[in-house]
């Protein structure tokens, strides 16, 4: 079925496929506010918290100075995936080749964005928690960990937005064992369907092993590199922002001295945990 024979047709197909996959598959989309405007810098200044004084009846008061601090999200990184498809490679089965490459490019871009945003959440969240020995892989720890994490955010008005926990695939066995042995309907659901993506009202997102890293990614270089190996992240949804100005862009080019087309997929990405609410994003250390 050679149905996408024109450059414009293939570009439209790739663009729509990427956007649908990114919005549906990204953990970043689920836990952050998303900004796709043309803004490179998003400004969110915040004020010092007011202090209320309780005193005996005197009729006098002390005036405190108000301080405003600038808090900016600046997009400084681009994500690019590029390939060249020679004419002799695509001519026999144009549709199948391009659809296969679209899937691979989509996953590559999606995984890279998620890795960047998830590590930003973990690195810049100021809430902290250390699990009992064995971390999430020990079933007996799960209820203890989840209740302790919830205690970090209950009582705040922002909690109504929902809470999330991002774990790696290696943590799943402990959750499955805990889910299959606790409660009645919940245990039956786990035994029938496997891993349940919600526990104690917390939405759980599973990412590939090795996503939490201690390394430099993009502009997170020496001195500000991520230090997240052996960590996970929990928090309230919508208190961080993931910026993707104009979304993901696609270009298909004719290259001199080569047959076929060059395919480039790129986007500009930034992420920010806003300072006034950074405590509601919790950096979890596995013990």
Residue 30 lies in a domain: yes
Indicate whether 2 pLDDT > 50.
no
Residue 2 lies in a domain: no
Residue 105 lies in a domain: yes
pLDDT digits (tens, 9 = 90+) for 189-200: 766 676 767 888
DSSP conformational letter for 220? B
Residue 28 lies in a domain: yes
Domain count for the chain, please give it: 1
- For the domain that residue 269 is a member of, what is the CATH number? 3.90.1690
Q: Is residue 270 a contact partner of residue 80, using CB atoms and an 8 Å limit?
A: no
Q: Is residue 265 a contact partner of residue 247, using CB atoms and an 8 Å limit?
A: no
Phi–psi pair at 33, nearest 5 degrees: -70, 145
pLDDT digits (tens, 9 = 90+) for 234-261: 999 999 999 988 787 878 788 889 888 7
Residue 39 lies in a domain: yes
Helix (H) or strand (E) holding 59: none
Residue 1 lies in a domain: no
Domain that holds residue 75: 7-285
> Token pair for residue 73?
């999200």
What is the rounded average pLDDT for all residues in the chain?
Answer: 85
Predicted pLDDT of residue 1: 35
Q: Is residue 272 a contact partner of residue 39, using CB atoms and an 8 Å limit?
A: no
Burial class (CB in 10 A: 0-12, 13-18, 19+), 34: middle
pLDDT digits (tens, 9 = 90+) for 200-233: 889 999 999 999 999 999 999 888 899 999 999 9
CB crowding 186-200: b at 16 or more within 10 Å, else e: beeebeeeeeeeebe
Residue 136 lies in a domain: yes
DSSP conformational letter for 64? P
pLDDT digits (tens, 9 = 90+) for 74-130: 999 999 988 888 877 777 665 556 667 767 777 788 889 999 999 999 999 999 999
Distance (Å, rounded) from C-alpha 253 to C-alpha 95? Answer: 18
Predicted pLDDT of residue 38: 86
> Token pair for residue 254?
């004719």
DSSP conformational letter for 259? S
């Amino acid at each position: 079925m050679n149905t996408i024979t024109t450059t414009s047709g293939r570009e439209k197909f790739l663009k729509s496929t990427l956007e649908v996959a990114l919005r549906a598959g990204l953990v970043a989309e689920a836990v952050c506010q998303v900004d796709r405007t043309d803004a490179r810098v998003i400004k969110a200044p915040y004020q010092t918290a007011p202090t209320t004084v309780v005193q005996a009846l005197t009729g006098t008061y002390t005036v405190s100075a108000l301080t405003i601090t600038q808090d900016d999200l600046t997009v400084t990184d681009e994500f690019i995936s590029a390939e060249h498809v020679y004419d002799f490679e695509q001519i026999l089965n144009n549709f199948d080749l391009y659809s296969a490459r679209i899937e691979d490019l989509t996953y590559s871009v999606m995984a890279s964005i998620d890795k960047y945003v998830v590590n930003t959440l973990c690195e810049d969240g100021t809430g902290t928690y250390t699990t009992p020995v064995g971390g999430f892989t020990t079933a007996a720890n799960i209820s203890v960990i989840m209740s302790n994490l919830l205690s970090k955010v209950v009582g705040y008005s922002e909690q109504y937005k929902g809470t999330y926990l991002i774990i790696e695939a290696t943590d799943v066995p402990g959750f499955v064992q805990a889910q299959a042995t606790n409660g009645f309907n919940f245990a039956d659901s786990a035994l029938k369907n496997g891993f349940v993506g919600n526990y104690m009202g917390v939405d759980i997102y599973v990412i590939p092993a090795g996503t939490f890293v201690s390394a430099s990614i993009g502009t997170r270089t020496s001195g500000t590199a991520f230090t997240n190996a052996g960590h996970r992240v929990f928090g309230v949804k919508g208190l961080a922002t993931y910026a993707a100005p104009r979304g993901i862009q696609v270009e298909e080019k004719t290259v001199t001295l080569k047959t076929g087309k060059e395919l480039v997929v790129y986007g500009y990405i930034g992420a920010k945990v806003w300072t006034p609410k950074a405590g509601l994003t919790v950096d979890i250390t596995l013990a």
